[in-house]
Amino acid sequence: MNASVLSLITISVLISSLAQIMLKIGMNRFAMTATFQIENLVSSLMAVFANSYVLGGLFCYGLGAIVWLAVLSRVEVSVAYPFTGLGVAFTAILAYVVLGENLGMQRLLGTTLVMAGVILVGRSA
């Protein structure tokens, strides 16, 4: 795998991780109610999709998908897809830095195992 493909994969996964953080911020600003009656559901969905962070997160997902299409045009999906596991690490780091979420020992160990798997798949390409 060459450096340009690896860069595209990294960019796509980073954008998707950023999308997760933006969606979380947006949903933190909007508390979903426990009742899901149809009249509340419609107004709740309208409020969610009017949130700029939610819209930004969805935009990032779309942008990440476009970059991902460029990746898939260059490498086998069985090689590319495991790299989405990088999103576990990127998102955990962003959540820690931006949202102040906890990175406990079990979460770090699990993330390390995912990263080890990504490395093994990447070396097989």
Please report the DSSP string for 68-83 in residue order: HHHHHTTS-HHHHGGG
Contacting residues for 1 by C-beta, under 8 A, at least 6 apart: 75, 79, 122, 125
> Tokens 């942008």, residue?
63
CB-CB contact of 125 with 1 (8 Å) = yes
With a cut of 60, say whether residue 36 has pLDDT above it: no
Q: What percent of the chain has pLDDT over 90?
A: 58
Domain that holds residue 113: 3-124
Evaluate if residue 37 carries a pLDDT over 60. Answer: no
Q: Which of 121, 14, 118, 21 is nearest to 67 (CA)?
A: 14
Packing angle, helices 52-72 and 38-49, rounded to 10: 70
Q: Kindly report the pTM of this predicted structure.
A: 0.83
- According to DSSP, residue 50 is labeled T
Which tokens hold the place of 100? Answer: 């102040």
Cα atoms in the Cβ-side hemisphere of radius 13 Å centred on 122: 17
- Number of structural domains (the chain) is 1
pLDDT in tens, 110-119: 999 988 988 8
Q: What is the mean pLDDT of residues 76-102?
A: 92
> pLDDT at position 33, please?
45
pLDDT at 30: 74
Rounded mean pLDDT, 18-35 = 80
The Cα 125–Cα 109 span in angstroms is 25
pLDDT attached to residue 58:
97
